[in-house]
Amino acid sequence: MLKIIVLILWIDGILSGNGNGEKCSHLFYKWISKSAKNSIPVCSRKSSLYGNVDLRESIKPSVFRDLTKKEIEGLLDYLYNRSDLNLTTADKKATNSNFIFISEVFLPPKKHVLKHLDTGYAQPRREARVMIFRGAISIPDVIEIIVSPLPNPTGYRHVPYRPKSIPFIDRPINVFDYNLRPMLEKIDKVAGKMLNELYGGRLVNCGDRCLTFSLNSQLTTPVSGVSKRLWFSWLYQFTEHFLLRPVDFAVLREVDNNGNVTITKIWFDGSFFDSLEDIVAYYNTYKEYINKVPFPTRTGKNDKSINSRGEPSFNKPLKDPSQVSPDGIRYNINDRHVSYSYWEFDVGMAVFYGPRLNDIRYKGDRIAYEISLQELANFYSGDKPQEHVLFFLDSMFKIGAYAKYLHPGVDCPNDATFISSSFKIDRKDEPLINDRAFCIFEFNTGMPLRRHNGYYWNLHRFYEGVANVVLIVRTIPTIGIYDYIIDFIFYQNGVIEVKITPTGIVTSSWHRHDNPYSFQVDKNLMSPIHQHLFNFKMDLDIKGTSNRFETIDIEPVVVDNICHKNPGATIVQDRFIKRLKHKELEAAFKFNFDFPKLLTFVNNNKKDKFGNSPGYKLLNKGMTKVVRPPNDGNNPAISWSQYQLAVTKYKDSEPYSSSVYTHSDNPVFTFQEFIDDNENIVDKDLVAWVTMGVFHVVHKEDLPVTHTPGLSQSTFLTPFNYFDESPGMSAGNAVRIDAVDVNGKTKTVEIERVGTKSDVNCIPEKTYYDELLKKNPCLAVQCL
């Protein structure tokens, strides 16, 4: 009875316009809300067909899967029992010992994998790539070997496309490059009193007022001209976040093959000095002219900590909108194989290079054999010597190992599925399993995938549209100061988007005077201009591996204007011309706005009834230009960055575009070599190497942490004469609304919903994330 009364009052109030409508509607919704708590069920995560998520390691892992726990354990058991390798365990390793640096899955030759996937041949055996530092042999070196078969190895061989022995001086960055304790004690003994007077802290025995050498940037052999491991170490006041607390002091140090550290130069008060004693003497002479910086305290105002502050954006705290999946999640995951709508693919993580997707199919057809991150690079410029040479290739720091700590409700939706990565690195003799390396979730973008409103009175009047709902595979590696949000986005019309968004803490240094490299963003604080560069590999297989790269060049053409009153009048039109690229050097693409073009990959052996070749178009919306000369300084290490796109013939010997040895004069390989052999690329298995990037001129709003809006860069792969019409026409839950006219007047509409009704009849499942973190803090922070 109460329900009827409330409903009648509400309707009566609206119809009578007596002012009670708003009051009654409030009562009605109050009742609805109360009833909802008692009657509306919690949304199920699983339906009969979808939501089947089994993340357990398969007994028979797929060819693409990361090493399993069982395989790593078998690998370590085999390696430590090989007397010829003479390996030291991780807890006892030293620079002058032999130890395992990394191990990860080694992918078989592509032709063997395709034979297995497409014709049913047996799966190639599982193998591991292992990098070993051999500091204990007479001439120390680095070796890379392939160990197989897993999980019970019986032998190993050298990686075929690597030298059998790599000089030890060229070894990748490792923990012994940061063994600074002896250096700290030496500096504190000679200059500790001076540093305390200037900056309010000490390097050792410092309590809560510590100074630290945190930012360490390598002075590479190509820049220094000497084959030594040289590092600039910058001094900071150790608070949150200390990288925004630089002081005018840095050291240039050398690390020898035994791990010993020698100070070669010191930067102080705008000049280089040869010794600590020289600095102390200079300070004692000019101390009254040198800037002193009190040690910072947490006052809550301008303390540069990363805590919410300022006037709240809403007067009353209100929960953010959140997404709900009323019928449960609509994808399935078996180990690391994901299927969603018409899409399916495998997910993996390379220890040096980061996320990798393999065997990406749409409607059963392989679109790409591999889409993977290759490098995250930062190149800086500044007014100090240590800024002149400051650059980071994040693969050297193991991008994959630092992809972890994804947080539900912020990094990913609450109902996302989290997937782990696994490999072995030098810290411990056990699998490194990052439980939250990836998250996978469906996302309603809030944009239509398509829509049209036909509103002309003399034509059919209708509306038709469907929401743009996508599947996102996300990972966020944090490499020291920067976090990179990397998304692989799958659309329901056969489009793939690869998106990257940087955020995190900017590199800062001491501001002495106005300069063309940075604005002053705070007292004594500048942050040098830098360029973010991102490289991705896209191994496309369009209707097979016989593909060609064609540009669709847009050009002006002058034609007769027969509509003009004057004979001989002309008008300019745009036309396109297909141009086939025959060799790799032709396909090294530098965008020129004076000559616009589309970039397409097609299979010329397959034709539709109109003679069109099916293909995919590559659209790089994150293009950037490197303005530094290609052979200057560290630029040869990133020769891929000279091209917004480069296309090469597939080779198993060219798995990555970036080398972890590029800090030396012996980089093992450079990407430019992939192009310079200038192979034929017509009707071949092709790989697209895509470069995106952005210049970052730091401003005050980048403090204390850079926010994401405006920084995203994307590359799209879109069908190009691949389908007879857009496959997005089959996307579910479309709506069509047609006018219904009676006697020349519109009386109502006819509504057709394809799929399900739009009603949401469940509430999201309650999350217990905070409670989970308190029991397992290692999901969120680095555990000691």
Place of tokens 């991150």: 373
Rounded mean pLDDT of 119-136?
Answer: 97
- 118, 121, 84, 76: which is closest to 100 by C-alpha? 76
Asked whether residue 549 carries a pLDDT value surpassing 50, the answer given is yes
DSSP letter at 238 equals -
Asked whether residue 586 carries a pLDDT value surpassing 50, the answer given is yes
Using an 8 Å Cβ cutoff, are 497 and 489 in contact?
A: yes
Residue 559 confidence (pLDDT): 96
DSSP letter at 374 equals E
- DSSP per residue, 306-322: ----SS-SSSS--PPP-
Rounded mean pLDDT of 102-107?
Answer: 97
Residue 210 confidence (pLDDT): 95
Residue 38 confidence (pLDDT): 56
Q: How far apart are CA 247 and CA 237, in angstroms?
A: 7
Give the model's confidence band at 25: pLDDT under 50 very low, under 70 low, under 90 confident, else very high: very low
Using an 8 Å Cβ cutoff, are 83 and 161 in contact?
A: no
Asked whether residue 412 carries a pLDDT value surpassing 80, the answer given is yes
Which pair of structure tokens corresponds to residue 394?
Answer: 């994040």
Which residues are catalytic, by number?
394, 482
- Return residue ranges of the chain for CATH 3.10.450.40: 54-171, 176-287
Which pair of structure tokens corresponds to residue 382?
Answer: 């500044």
Rounded mean pLDDT of 118-132?
Answer: 97
Q: How far apart are CA 51 and CA 328, in angstroms?
A: 7
Which pair of structure tokens corresponds to residue 37?
Answer: 């708590």
CATH topology of domain 54-171: Nuclear Transport Factor 2; Chain: A, (3.10.450)
Residue 464 confidence (pLDDT): 93
Residue 338 confidence (pLDDT): 98
pLDDT digits (tens, 9 = 90+) for 725-735: 999 999 989 99
Rounded mean pLDDT of 644-659?
Answer: 97
Range name among 186-195, 361-370, 429-438, 586-595 with the lowest pLDDT average:
586-595
To the nearest 10 degrees (0 to 180), the angle between helices 2-16 and 20-39 is 150
Mean confidence (pLDDT) of the chain: 91
Task: Between 310 and 205, name the one with better pLDDT.
Answer: 205
| Longest Cα–Cα distance in the chain | 101
Give the model's confidence band at 299: pLDDT under 50 very low, under 70 low, under 90 confident, else very high: low
Asked whether residue 583 carries a pLDDT value surpassing 80, the answer given is yes
Rounded mean pLDDT of 465-474?
Answer: 97
User: Which run of H or E residues covers position 532?
Assistant: strand 530-540
Task: Give the bridge partners for 148, in sequence order.
Answer: 155
Give the model's confidence band at 17: pLDDT under 50 very low, under 70 low, under 90 confident, else very high: very low
Q: Residue 741 — φ and ψ, nearest 5°? A: -105, 140
Asked whether residue 16 carries a pLDDT value surpassing 60, the answer given is no
Which ranges in 40-171 belong to alpha helices (H)?
A: 69-80, 110-119
Task: Give the bridge partners for 353, in sequence order.
Answer: none
Residue 485 confidence (pLDDT): 98
Q: Residue 595 — φ and ψ, nearest 5°? A: -135, 75
Residue 288 confidence (pLDDT): 93
Residue 703 confidence (pLDDT): 92
Residue 2 confidence (pLDDT): 38
Residue 119 confidence (pLDDT): 94
Residue 766 confidence (pLDDT): 81
Residue 188 confidence (pLDDT): 96
Q: For the chain, how many helices (H) and strands (E)?
A: 10, 37
Residue 752 confidence (pLDDT): 92
pLDDT digits (tens, 9 = 90+) for 658-691: 999 988 777 899 999 999 999 999 999 999 999 9
Peptide bond into 149 cis (omega under 30): yes
In our burial notation (b when 16+ CB lie closer than 10 A, e otherwise), range 494-533 reads: bbbbbbbbbbbbbbbbbbeeebebbbebbebbbbbbbbbb
Residue type present at position 227: S
User: Which run of H or E residues covers position 25?
Assistant: helix 20-39
Share of the chain above pLDDT 70, in %: 94
3-state secondary structure of 116: helix
Rounded mean pLDDT of 193-205?
Answer: 96
Asked whether residue 10 carries a pLDDT value surpassing 60, the answer given is no
pLDDT digits (tens, 9 = 90+) for 749-774: 999 998 887 778 888 888 887 888 88
Residue 302 confidence (pLDDT): 59
User: Which run of H or E residues covers position 13?
Assistant: helix 2-16
Using an 8 Å Cβ cutoff, are 43 and 328 in contact?
A: yes
Dihedral (Cα; 326, 330, 332, 338), 10-degree rounding: -130
User: Which run of H or E residues covers position 498?
Assistant: strand 496-504
Task: Between 39 and 216, name the one with better pLDDT.
Answer: 216
Using an 8 Å Cβ cutoff, are 333 and 55 in contact?
A: yes
Q: How far apart are CA 572 and CA 554, in angstroms?
A: 13
Q: Are strands 745-754 and 478-479 parallel, antiparallel or unpaired?
A: unpaired
Asked whether residue 20 carries a pLDDT value surpassing 50, the answer given is no
Residue 755 confidence (pLDDT): 84
Task: Give the bridge partners for 115, in sequence order.
Answer: none
Residue type present at position 637: A
- 363, 149, 187: which is closest to 275 by C-alpha? 187
Q: How far apart are CA 255 and CA 266, in angstroms?
A: 15
3-state secondary structure of 640: helix
Q: What is the CATH number of domain 331-446+468-507+525-720?
A: 2.70.98.20
Which whole-number Å values give the CA distances from 782 to 5, 92, 405, 447, 749, in the listed order?
Answer: 59, 22, 9, 38, 58
Q: What is the CATH number of domain 176-287?
A: 3.10.450.40
pLDDT digits (tens, 9 = 90+) for 607-624: 999 999 999 999 999 999
DSSP letter at 202 equals B
Give the model's confidence band at 32: pLDDT under 50 very low, under 70 low, under 90 confident, else very high: very low
Asked whether residue 719 carries a pLDDT value surpassing 50, the answer given is yes
Residue 300 confidence (pLDDT): 52
Residue 297 confidence (pLDDT): 80
